[in-house]
Amino acid sequence: MDQSKQNAPGTGVRADLQAVLDAHAATQDAARKVAVDKQHARGRCTAREGIDQLLDAGSFVEYGGLAKPATKGMQGAADGLVMGTGKVDGRPVAIVAYDYTVYAGTQSAVNHGKISRMFQYAERQRLPVLCWLDGGGARPHDMFVQSMSMSTTFVTFSRLSGLAPTVGIVPGRAFAGHANLAGLSDCAIATKSASMGMAGPPLVEAALGMKLTPEEIGPADVHMKAGSIDLLAEDAADACRLARKYLSYFSGPVAPVAAPDAAKLRDMVPESPRRAYDVRKVVEGMVDADSMLELKPAWGRAMVTALARIDGRTVGVVANQPMFLGGAMDSPACAKSARFVELCDAYDIPLLLLCDTPGLMVGPEIEKTALVRHSARLLSALANATVPMMTVVLRKAYGLGYYIMGSRPLHPAILLAWPTAEFGGMGLEGAASIIYKQELEAIEDVAERAEAHRAFTAELKAYNTSLRVGERVGFDDVTDPADTRRILSATMDTFPEPPRRTTKKLTVSPI
Amino acid sequence: MDVKSEIAGKVWKIVTAVGDTVGEEDEILILESMKMEIPVGAPGAGRISEILVEEAESVQEGQVVARIEA
């Protein structure tokens, strides 16, 4: 009799099955106590613990768990990459998780093959992909394995964006190839203690002669301020919660929740047109309670980009932020918003634009940052988006800034203005100087001329208040701030269902 | 801790004084730029040890306008 068909001693299970069960068991955390304890001692959780927190309980189906390193003499569970399919809030996803306890989570010849397999499956099924990026780039030992240089990992992953949401989570350290996957993700999330970089300490030392720790090269707060990551998490558990929350905006409507107190919106914009206020509070007052998820809050701070819901339906909010640069649109803010518009358009999420800007930022310094191109990119993203957009002018609507922020030529589904709205093709003081140039030059007395300039400016302001512009149908209505949410929700009722897509609409650019 | 202006403009109002205790993001002074009053906040909690500008003075982007001792 074939030995493999005999029961293993004392188990009642056939030996061939027992061998498989044993091989699988050896890859689990319970069988790898020393390695798991070491990871916990670093204050970090294992890849499998991460997967457990990301997926619905019991939904994980593992692929390639029995993989072993290609290089002779090396051992490592699943060759350092735990992957498969599962569910998040009942919806299918693909998940790939680098296991730091196996050669620091490095990318090997074999696990490159594994991950490409998973990405290709996700591509075919249009599955959202969650990447747990805990590792230090390529595994140098595998450089002698021929297939190492033929990996399609990054090419395939690049193509996924726009087909289904991709999320990169950096729970500890992500360098080189791991950072590259974070950079290619639609949404990158890092914990506060995480570090990330295109090159880790050994490469930095070899190239620059600087001996630095991973945290000195690329701490999470640097990446938040530079716009490399979208969300900063307290810890790994919080990162998993944020990843699940992020995905929830891409999976259709949810049951509506309580609306915030609408009357509060009436006092959000200060009476003085010169005073700043936090536009985040306006967004929070307009959307479903606790539904606002701001992306890249520490970069491009002159604008706020956030996913949110109105009566259970996802909306992408792009808002000027008067708290930073007075809401003047600078290059980082334009770049951030352009990319966010692409993200929403790619996944058929309607846009809500909240305008309060004195215009694009001006001056020689800002021109050095290619504002000419970055502002054009935002305008281009909006002009080419096919998702419906809605605009609310909260206060200032000046110049090209307003033109970009959902003005009439962009054909918003509805264009509303609050009573505090003020309009101008350019700043009205400047406009008065140009329009009344001859009249002003004719006045010799300086004080008298300044007074005349003030009067001309006031005249232009009076012509451009929300009521006057409303009379000329410069927008669809002037609205009570407290009624805005109801109008937006009713407008969303008029939107057609997005078409059922079998191909991608567009790729979301990495930055 | 250096308190830096994030925008070029004119100092409109100094709303704190040397010796004041401030929390993170508390307003230290207000600039006037882009025809707006733009608050400059504390980068962290502490006591204001120096205020390096005066009202009506022009400041450049990135200029240190005050210092805070944590």
Q: Which tens digit of pLDDT belongs to each residue from A43-74?
A: 999 999 999 999 999 999 999 999 999 999 99
Residue A313: which CATH number?
Answer: 3.90.226.10
Chain A CB within 8 Å of residue B46 CB: no
A377 and A474 belong to one structural domain: yes
- pLDDT of the residue at A149: 81
- pLDDT of the residue at A275: 87
In a domain, A347, yes or no: yes
Residue in chain B nearest A300 by alpha carbon: B6
Residue A52's contacts (CB-CB under 8 Å, 6 or more residues apart) are A60
User: What is the rounded radius of gyration, in angstroms, for the C-alpha atoms of chain A?
Assistant: 27
In a domain, A7, yes or no: no
A376 and A437 belong to one structural domain: no
| Contact between chains at B37 and A274 (C-beta distance less than 8 A) | yes
A131 and A224 belong to one structural domain: yes
A271 and A338 belong to one structural domain: yes
Q: Are strands A231-233 and A293-295 parallel, antiparallel or unpaired?
A: unpaired
Chain A CB within 8 Å of residue B55 CB: no
Residues of A in contact with B61 (CB under 8 A): 365
A59 and A126 belong to one structural domain: yes
Domains and CATH numbers, chain B: 2-69 (2.40.50.100)
**Residues A359 and A329 sit within 8 Å (Cβ to Cβ):** yes
In a domain, A164, yes or no: yes
In a domain, A416, yes or no: yes
pLDDT at A1 over 70: no
**Interval A376-385 mean pLDDT:** 98
A286 and A178 belong to one structural domain: no
**Residues A311 and A291 sit within 8 Å (Cβ to Cβ):** no
Chain A CB within 8 Å of residue B38 CB: yes
Provide the domain count of chain A: 3
CA distance B1 to chain A (A): 17
Residue in chain B nearest A398 by alpha carbon: B34
- pLDDT of the residue at A148: 81
Q: How confident is the model at residue A150 (pLDDT cuts 50, 70, 90)?
A: confident
| Contact between chains at A275 and B6 (C-beta distance less than 8 A) | no
* Edge-to-edge strand list for the sheet holding B64-69: B2-4, B64-69, B46-51, B21-22
CA distance B16 to chain A (A): 18
**Interval A420-424 mean pLDDT:** 90
What are the tokens at A270?
């200060």
Last residue of a domain, one of A185, A216, A248: A248
User: Best interface-test mutation with B: which of A225, A269, A274 has the largest number of B CBs within 10 A?
Assistant: A274
Residue in chain A nearest B39 by alpha carbon: A323
- pLDDT of the residue at B36: 84
| Contact between chains at B36 and A363 (C-beta distance less than 8 A) | no
pLDDT at A8 over 70: no
A375 and A453 belong to one structural domain: no
A104 and A204 belong to one structural domain: yes
A201 and A73 belong to one structural domain: yes
A289 and A393 belong to one structural domain: yes
What is the phi/psi pair of residue B48, to 5°? -70, 120
A142 and A52 belong to one structural domain: yes
pLDDT at A4 over 90: no
In a domain, A336, yes or no: yes
Closest partner residue to A358 (CB to CB) among B6, B34, B61 is: B34
- pLDDT of the residue at A5: 62
Q: How confident is the model at residue A2 (pLDDT cuts 50, 70, 90)?
A: low
Question: Mind listing the pLDDT tens digit for each residue in A330-367?
Answer: 999 999 999 999 999 999 999 999 999 999 999 999 99
If you average pLDDT over every residue of chain A, what do you get?
94
Task: Check if the interface score ipTM surpasses 0.90.
Answer: no
Distances (CA, A) of A447 to A227, A299, A423: 48, 43, 27
Domain that holds residue A194: 32-248
Residue A320 forms beta bridges with which residues?
A303
Q: How far apart are CA A193 and CA A233, in angstroms?
A: 9
